[in-house]
Amino acid sequence: ESEKKSNFIRQIIDADLAAGRVPGGVVHTRFPPEPNGYLHIGHAKSIVLNFGIARDYGGKCNLRFDDTNPHKENMEFVESIKEDVRWLGYDWEERLYYASDYFEKLYDFAVELIGKGLAYVCDLDAESMRAHRGTLTEPGKESPYRNRGVEENLDLFRRMRAGEFPDGSRTLRAKIDMASPNLNLRDPVLYRIRHGVIHHQTGAEWCIYPMYDYTHPLSDAIEGITHSICTLEFEDHRPLYDWAVEHVSAPARPRQYEFARLNLQYTVMSKRKLTRLVQEGFVSGWDDPRMPTIAGLRRRGYTPAAVRDFCERIGVTKSDSTTEMGVLENSVREDLDRSAPRRMAVLRPLKVVLTNYLALAEEWLEAANHPKDPAFGSRRIPFSAEIWIDRDDFREEAPRSYKRLVKGEAVRLRNAYVIRCDEVVREHNGELSELRCTCFPESLEGNPEGIKPRGVIHWVSARHAVDAEVRLYDRLFSQPIPGKGAEDFIEHLNPVSLQVLTGCKLEPVLAGAGAGDRFQFEREGYFCVDSRDSNEGGLVFNRTVTLRDSWAK
């Protein structure tokens, strides 16, 4: 794994520690997902940052579900998030929390704010509130309910909680500054009424729910978070964050720091868009191998180490940018080059008959499992008179630069003999049906006298081959920034992002491959056994990534 790079957040932490600003010297971070979807590669950046800091500074990192929007959240998402954080290699130990654990405390804090004259119950409906809010060039207008007395506010807020008022009829608002140049400070809503939702943690207990901008800073304060790290779009919310922790008797004074979110070319990351892809059936689910979700990447064959390595490589900055998909692919390619055993698989089979090899004979040849690492050992692969090669590895005529099999010429079979193509057999319709070739029996160790093979190709013994389905994936969108200049990002979906090859021929040792096993199919790329659709009745492989960067065009 690559070395941990310093970044501006780590520099802030170093300075805070040096100046004695961190209570007890224990750095405490949190990762706060909303359980309204599966985690994606952007979340991985935040996870690696927050859990990585806790690990490297001997600190702590909480996993906290930010669950204040119950109508969009559910337990499937909660469970998937836990699974994905664990899969990435991080452990929150006993530090698993829900913002909803604090609903009672948050209510008490709100009562405290009302008591201090810093919050009021407002009867404006959403539309009037928007009209009162003003714009960047125009100050807001104060709500007619802004100067309600403390006692009246306390009574109304208590009755809001008791369920006396319908949805949308009242809110609790902070009393800050309707003329502030920062719109977030123009008396933001702290609580809204929401009847009839069953919260996945608190059930039907509450009919008022605190807003994110109020819940988040106070949850951080309750948990004793020292460095609350979030993405840049919350920069403008920081004054409200500070306002909240300053004005309640919170047990700690966390600070918020913002970094640039990850954007990746040719994919989308917003949960609203990912949800649409799933719900409208453009992909097979949250774990479709084309999705940028952690579950999708896992099913595609990515390793946790590759995802962590990618997050380290892109670094943590304060300026927004869009990362090329090739950077992510390089991380997994390098990891799998080290860790994946080599196998031979013919994806588009063409029959080759070795006319001078005894029809019923077979022999087992030794093949190394990894060209650079003897620790992987070797395996035996069967050889016989009929083999499969890839259709793309044969041409009747070709220029010298074509390093594969050509009619009348020789090629070396990987881990086996040199063969020469003597005859091409075609169907009635002209389609290639098989090649008839000569096998040079003395060619295992070196080239036969006077024969110069053009190159080396892979193959599989026909009699011993195992059949499989192989799924090849391309970018999910055909535009680097999906939706840019279009009505709807869906218009930019790549119509050929999935290619399914059936009747692929694998060397027999692959019959025993199980869900998630990863291999390099020589000359083809890295592949893994699909964890959902592969079974004893039929092997299914996903191509994780090609051998070379196919994006750099």
**Which residues line the annotated binding site for ATP?**
34-36, 40-46, 231, 261-262, 269-271
Residue of 182, 201, 202, 231 that binds ligand ATP (CB under 6 A): 231
* Number of C-beta neighbours around residue 412 at 10 A: 20
User: Residue with CB nearest Mg ion?
Assistant: 34
Residues marked active site are found at 34, 261, 271
Residue 3 one-letter amino acid: E
* 313 is a contact residue toward ligand ATP (CB under 6 A): no
Decide whether 271 or 543 has the Cβ nearer to ligand ATP: 271
* 261 is a contact residue toward ligand ATP (CB under 6 A): yes
- Taking only Cα atoms into account, the Rg of the chain, rounded to an integer number of angstroms, comes to 31
* 269 is a contact residue toward ligand ATP (CB under 6 A): yes
DSSP 99-163: GGGGHHHHHHHHHHHHHTT-EEEE---HHHHHHHH--SSS-----TTTT--HHHHHHHHHHHHHT
Decide whether 72 or 105 has the Cβ nearer to Mg ion: 72
- Rounded to a whole number of angstroms, the minimum distance from the CB of residue 30 to ligand ATP is 9
Region of 272 (left: φ > 0; alpha: ψ -120 to 50; beta: rest) is alpha
User: Residue with CB nearest ligand ATP?
Assistant: 42
Per-residue contact string for residues 17-46; x = within reach of Mg ion by CB under 5 A: -----------------x------------
List of long-range contacts for 195-199, beta carbons under 8 Å, 24+ apart: 195/163, 195/166, 195/167, 197/70, 197/71, 198/70, 199/67, 199/70, 199/73, 199/100
Starting from the edge strand earliest in sequence, which strands make up the sheet with 498-506, in order?
342-343, 518-521, 525-529, 539-545, 466-473, 498-506, 345-346
* 43 is a contact residue toward ligand ATP (CB under 6 A): yes
Hey, is 399 helix, strand or coil?
coil
Residue 168 one-letter amino acid: G
- Show the tokens assigned to 289: 């191998």
CA distances from 438 to 272, 394, 417 (A): 59, 15, 10
Decide whether 202 or 275 has the Cβ nearer to ligand ATP: 275
Per-residue contact string for residues 50-69; x = within reach of ligand ATP by CB under 6 A: ----------------x---
Tell me the C-alpha distance between 118 and 177, whole Å.
Answer: 11
Choose the contact partner of 252 out of Mg ion, ligand ATP, none; CB within 5 to 8 A by kind: none
Q: Helix/strand/coil (H, E, C) string of 264-326?
A: ECCCCCCHHHHHHHHHCCCCCCCCCCCCCEHHHHHHHCCCHHHHHHHHHHHCCCCCCCEECHH
Hey, is 512 helix, strand or coil?
helix
Choose the contact partner of 413 out of Mg ion, ligand ATP, none; CB within 5 to 8 A by kind: none
Residue list, annotated binding site for L-glutamine: 66, 212
Decide whether 33 or 296 has the Cβ nearer to ligand ATP: 33
Residue list, annotated binding site: 34-36, 40-46, 66, 212, 231, 261-262, 269-271
Tell me the C-alpha distance between 281 and 287, whole Å.
Answer: 12
* 262 is a contact residue toward ligand ATP (CB under 6 A): yes
Choose the contact partner of 289 out of Mg ion, ligand ATP, none; CB within 5 to 8 A by kind: none
Per-residue contact string for residues 353-392; x = within reach of Mg ion by CB under 5 A: ----------------------------------------
Residue of 270, 321, 355, 378 that binds ligand ATP (CB under 6 A): 270
* 227 is a contact residue toward ligand ATP (CB under 6 A): no
Region of 38 (left: φ > 0; alpha: ψ -120 to 50; beta: rest) is beta
Alpha-helix runs per DSSP H in 367-479? none
Choose the contact partner of 250 out of ligand ATP, Mg ion, none; CB within 5 to 8 A by kind: none
* Number of C-beta neighbours around residue 401 at 10 A: 6
- Rounded to a whole number of angstroms, the minimum distance from the CB of residue 33 to ligand ATP is 4
The HSE-up count of residue 504 (CA atoms within 13 Å, CB side) is 25
* 32 is a contact residue toward ligand ATP (CB under 6 A): yes
Decide whether 190 or 264 has the Cβ nearer to ligand ATP: 264
Contact 294, 280 (CB under 8 A): no
Choose the contact partner of 343 out of Mg ion, ligand ATP, none; CB within 5 to 8 A by kind: none
Decide whether 34 or 123 has the Cβ nearer to ligand ATP: 34
Choose the contact partner of 169 out of Mg ion, ligand ATP, none; CB within 5 to 8 A by kind: none
Give contact residues for ligand ATP (rule: CB under 6 A). 32-34, 42-43, 45-46, 66, 230-231, 261-262, 269-271
Binding site for Mg ion (CB under 5 A): 34
